Structure formats: structure tokens, C-alpha cells
Structure 1
Amino acid sequence: MIITNRCILTAVQESDYEDIKKVYLNEKVRQYLGGTVREESIDGVLDIMLNSDGNSWYFCVRYKQTNDFIGLVSLDPHHTGKDMEVSYQLIPKWWGAGYATEVITEIIGFAFTILKLPRLVAETQVANIPSRKLLEKVGMRLISTYDRFDAEQALYYLKSCDFK
């Protein structure tokens, strides 16, 4: 469990199924993530989260005061296999109030202090300006852009020695 000023992050559990559906079936959340998934695919998504090989961490984010579901955050191997990637999906109701910044900052701290990772990356579509601003706000720097999934992607990085 990870606790921030306003949030509690807990490892994904089977009982989180309905909340996970809220993220993967939401068009606004999935706009820059390849679109929504079919409802029947949620079981497979949850299975991956529950049975990771010990090299991935998946957290449900909840509002501390009410336990309301805010979204998901994870640390997974980036598709290149070179680095770990921080990813996040928050329900739109929680956008714009600093929750993503709070949670991502804490996850980065977890990655560098507990997991002792030397570097993290994050990938987002170039068109996803709010996500790019968030990554820059938490100290990540753009290192490249490239085409993937029929869209221009932006790859950001942060070294542990640069994390404040």
C-alpha cells in the first residue's frame, strides 16, 4: 500500500474488477490509449494484472476520504524491454485537480527508492497535451518521438539521480 496526501494506492485485487471496467470502457480515458476494450476482454486485463511475473506493479488509486475509485497506475516493462514504464489511467471526474501529479510523483519515488530502478520512461501520444504536461511537471524529459499504433508517440524519461 502506498499513501499520498489524498490517495491510497493498493495492489490490484480480483475484487477491483468493476472499477477496472470503469477505466477500460471509458472513451475519454482510452482516447489516447488505443480506444476502449471489449467488455469481455476485461477478464484478460485483470488476469495480467493479478498474475504479473513480479516485474510489474499494478495499483488501484482511491480517494482516501471516501475510498472512491480514481483510476489505475502501473509500472511495467516498456515495449522495448530496456526500461520500466510508468502508466496511468484516471477517471475523468478526477482530472484537473492534481491527483495524477500526486500519484505519479509517489509512484516514481517508489520506483527509485524501493525498487532501486535507475531510470523510468513514459509513453504518450504527442496529441495528448495534458499527459505530456503532467510528465514534464513530474520532471520527465522528452527523449524521442516515433510512430506506433498509427499515431505519433512521445517518449519521456527520468533518471533516479534527477528525481527530487
Structure 2
Amino acid sequence: MFETERCFVNTFQKSDYDDVKKLFVNQEVRKFLGGIRQENSIKVELDEMHNSSVDSFYWVVREKQEENFIGLVSLDPYHDDIHLEISYQFLPYWWGNGYATEVVQMIISFALNELNLSKVVAETQTANKPSCKLLERVGMKPERTIMRFGAEQAIYSIES
């Protein structure tokens, strides 16, 4: 378990399925992530996350005061199979208040300092301006853009 100033960040458990599912069916959350997922693919995804490999990490984020579910953050192998990628999804109610910045910054620090990774990457659609700004706010630098999933993607990275 991790703790930030305002959040608890716990390893994803089977008991978190219902909360995390809220992310996969939320139109706003999924706008830049390929759209809402179908019920059967959500179950498969959640099972894969729960039974992930040793180089994949999934955490559920809850705010401290009421322990409300906020979102999900992960570190897992990037498309290049060299680096780990940080990914995040937060429910819209929590957007714009610094929760994602707080948690993503802490996970990047964990990756670089505790896991001793030399580099962490992130990928987001260039059209997703808030996500690009968040990655820059936590110290990640744009590396390049590519076309993937039918849209222009920005690849960001941070090195130790």
C-alpha cells in the first residue's frame, strides 16, 4: 500500500472489480482509450490484471477521507517490451483537482527509486491535452509521436 497526501493506493484485488469496472463503462474516461468496453472483455481484462505477471503492477486509488474510489494506476510492460509504462484512469468527478498528478508522481518515484528502473514511459493521444499536461507536470518529456489505435499518440518518458 502507498499513501499520498490525499489518497490511499492499494494493490488491485478481486474485491475491486466493481469499482474498476466503472472506469471501463464511463464514456468520458474512455474517450481517448478506445471507447466503452463490452461486459465480457471487461471481465477478461480484470482477471488479467488480478493475475498479472511479476513485471505488472495495478493499484486502486481511493481518497482518504471517505475512501471513495477514484481510479486505477498501473505499471506494465510497454509495447517495446523494454520499458514499463505508467497508465492511469480516474473517474471524471475527481478530474482537475490534482489527484492524478499526486498519485502518478508517487508511482513514478516508486518505479525509478524502488524498482530501480532507468526509464518509465507513458503513451497518450495527442488530442488528450489534459493527459499530456499531467505527464509534463510530473516531469515526463515528450519523446516522439506515432500513429497507433487509429490516432496520433504522444510517447513521454522520464529517466532516473
Question: Is the TM-score greater than 0.5?
Answer: yes
Distance in 1 between residues matched to 2:41 and 2:147, nearest whole Å: 26
Partner of 2:73: 73
- The AA in structure 1 aligned to 2:47 is D
Structure 1 runs (4+) deviating above 3 angstroms are none
- The AA in structure 1 aligned to 2:140 is M
Residue 40 of structure 1, CA deviation:
2.2
Q: What CA RMSD, in Å, does the superposition of the two structures yield over aligned residues? A: 0.7
Distance in 1 between residues matched to 2:141 and 2:22, nearest whole Å: 30
Q: Deviations over 1:25-49 (max 9, x none)?
A: 1010011111111022221111111
Match runs of 1:105-120 below 5 Å: 105-120=105-120
Instruction: Report the secondary structure of 2:48's partner residue.
Output: helix
Distance in 2 between residues matched to 1:83 and 1:40, nearest whole Å: 29
Structure 1, unmatched stretches of 5+, are none
Partner of 2:64: 64
Distance in 2 between residues matched to 1:114 and 1:82, nearest whole Å: 18
- The AA in structure 2 aligned to 1:140 is M
Structure 2, unmatched stretches of 5+, are none
Range with greater deviation from structure 2 (121-130 or 30-39) = 30-39
Q: Give TM-score, length-normalised by structure 1.
A: 0.96
Q: How many residues align?
A: 160
- Aligned-pair identity in percent equals 54
Partner of 2:131: 131
Q: Give TM-score, length-normalised by structure 2.
A: 0.98
Match runs of 1:151-162 below 5 Å: 151-160=151-160
Q: Check if 1:19 corresponds to 2:49.
A: no
Distance in 1 between residues matched to 2:121 and 2:92, nearest whole Å: 23
Match runs of 1:22-41 below 5 Å: 22-41=22-41
Range with greater deviation from structure 2 (73-82 or 37-46) = 37-46
Instruction: Report the secondary structure of 1:106's partner residue.
Output: helix
Residue 53 of structure 1, CA deviation:
1.1
Q: Deviations over 1:39-97 (max 9, x none)?
A: 22221111111111111000000001111000000001111112110000000000000
Instruction: Report the secondary structure of 1:70's partner residue.
Output: strand
